[in-house]
Amino acid sequence: MPNYNPPIRDMQFVLHELFNVVDDLKTMPRHSEIDVETINAVLEEGGKFAKEIAFPLNMVGDKEGCKLDPVSHEVTAPTGFKKAYAQFVEAGWPALSSDPEYGGQGLPLVVNQCFYEMLNSANQAWTMYPGLTHGAHAALHAHGTPEQKNMYLPKLISGEWTGTMCLTESHCGTDLGLMRTKAEAQADGTYRITGNKIFISAGEHDLAGNIIHLVLARLSDAPPGIKGISLFVVPKFLVNPDGSLGERNGIYCGGLEHKMGINGSATCQMVLENAVGTMVGQPNKGMAAMFVMMNAARLGVGNQSLGLTEVAYQNALAYAKDRIQMRSLSGPKAKDKPADPIIVHADVRKMLLTAKAYAEGGRALAVFSSILLEKEHYHPDAKVRQESGEMLSFLTPIVKAFLTDNGWTATSSCLQVFGGHGFIKEWGMEQYVRDARINMIYEGTNTIQSLDLLGRKVLGNNGATLKKFGKLVAQLIEQEGVNEDMAEFINPIAYLGDKMTKFTTEIGFKGFQNPDEVGAAAVDYLRVAGHLVMGYFWARMAQVALREIANGNTDPFYAAKLQTARFYFARLFPETASLMLTARTGSKNLMDTDLALA
């Protein structure tokens, strides 16, 4: 059986020592009274919920999965899931960072981010039920009518109801311009919606009293393609004017997907037959509203893999300290035992440190992104709001793709630490690998995120936002460039930052001549950009650790942070050199291959 201990100390380091998050938050009127003690207290309690309530159900959910009644179309979640959700609601967790106007607690989004990291470590499948609700809340809050907000937001915020996003159809996947679901306008202002959706996480379950689906569909006179899509809110049960539940709506689960992982999460095939819905936003402008939800979900998916990276690392580390096998190449270390613990072996340490470096670096990136999201929505200065939104838009595909790629690498490495035992279910490690694999696929595959980053977020604005991030790197280099103790952290990002402009310009020039050049380079490019971003945060973490040590702080936490930073820059960051080489080989060796792929 695996174990999990919430990484509260490292979260506190990132929040309070690396980013001084309270100072940033206090610039926003809604958070003027926030303090370190409140944030820490919430995280402590959140960690207890994750460890004591959600975590014990993780293997249960994986083993049992969900069950569909083919007659009633009702889905039953695994044993214990419904009770845990009731405890979640009773404790007020769904309302943590939501708008107080509709019953939320109004705490910072970054606190919710850290809480959900712990929930994802504890039980990613269970966490998807409340997790999707945040995206539905965000879309309705940004684009819903006053009537829709008053009808749905209080119950979504309280957790009495949950939300979904219904986008995908079997024939089109991410190419939503091909969707066929139809919406017919009615005399009373509602719409009748008919179609089929697949891969709908938490599309049907028994945890909450109602499920609020946000559904993409086409009006009868809609233009073709992506410009002809509208967004509708379609509740499982119709809602009466007084807020009580009415009759069952024409949306139901026609089947459950049989999956590789996240078995405790109900992934549904949803059927809409004359379902009643109301439009969110303007006709044929549904993607603008849905992107609010999709971007929130993409940040959430990165957070899922961050959580899995952390819990896999914790268990692999504990196993490596306990498992004895062979002797150290440099001589026996545990002389009182017949063999040494496997943590003495260099490659075992490499695998453990890979997971640790990606967890701690990913945590810094995720927290930084959450701070940007808070500023984009709530900062009083319009310029800060705009610049924060631009930077977050640049970082979102990196959070989603880079952290989920790293999560796959990390969980696989941690399974490898266990050797043959890692392949056996009772140790729990193979579940983390299976669960992590979906995160690279949904909410836009990582290739799509790479195309978004390179094509839209970088080349689309001539590298303006990339240059803004480059200024952050340059400021750190200027600040620490003459500090010999920081050289091993500063020199790599300075070198890559210098090369990044030429690398980007070269690919952009080729792309203008042949668009396939962008497609051929995009995945490699995102990983290079990901390392530039993560390298910047690792350098800043090393900066803090060195400062504390210089001030006489003997807490081993800081020495450990430096050791991990050194490993990251020595063993993981150099991947960027080979990635730039392969990206520069162009599209011909991929596209001129008709015979090879015949």
Q: What residues are annotated to the active site?
A: 443
- HSE-CB for 404 with a 13 A CA cutoff: 31
Measured between alpha carbons, how far is 446 from 523 in angstroms, rounded to an integer? 8
Measured between alpha carbons, how far is 281 from 418 in angstroms, rounded to an integer? 51
The answer to whether the CB of 277 falls within 8 A of the CB of 183 is yes
Place of tokens 């590789």: 260
Instruction: Locate 497 and state its tokens.
Output: 């930052």
Rg (CA), the chain: 24
Helix axes 382-417, 516-550, angle to 10 degrees: 90
Provide the phi-psi class of 586: left if phi over 0, else alpha when psi is between -120 and 50, else beta: left
The answer to whether the CB of 281 falls within 8 A of the CB of 149 is no
Tally of residues, the chain:
598
The answer to whether the CB of 259 falls within 8 A of the CB of 438 is yes
Instruction: Locate 237 and state its tokens.
Output: 């049960």
The answer to whether the CB of 433 falls within 8 A of the CB of 412 is yes
Measured between alpha carbons, how far is 527 from 449 in angstroms, rounded to an integer? 11
In order of 177, 194, 199, 222, the CA distances from 182 in angstroms are 13, 5, 19, 10
In order of 13, 17, 543, the CA distances from 552 in angstroms are 17, 16, 15
Torsion of CA 428, 433, 438, 441, to 10 degrees: 170
Measured between alpha carbons, how far is 507 from 586 in angstroms, rounded to an integer? 9
Chain centre distance of CA 377: 19
Question: Which residues have a Cβ under 8 Å from the Cβ of 196 and sit 6 or more positions away?
Answer: 169, 170, 181, 254, 269, 270, 271, 272
Strand partners, 212: 163, 235
Q: Which of 133, 129, 134, 117 is nearest to 51 (CA)?
A: 117
What angle (nearest 5°) sits at the alpha carbon of residue 53, between those of residues 48 and 55?
Answer: 90
Place of tokens 């983390």: 432
Q: What are phi and psi of 345, to 5 degrees?
A: -85, 135
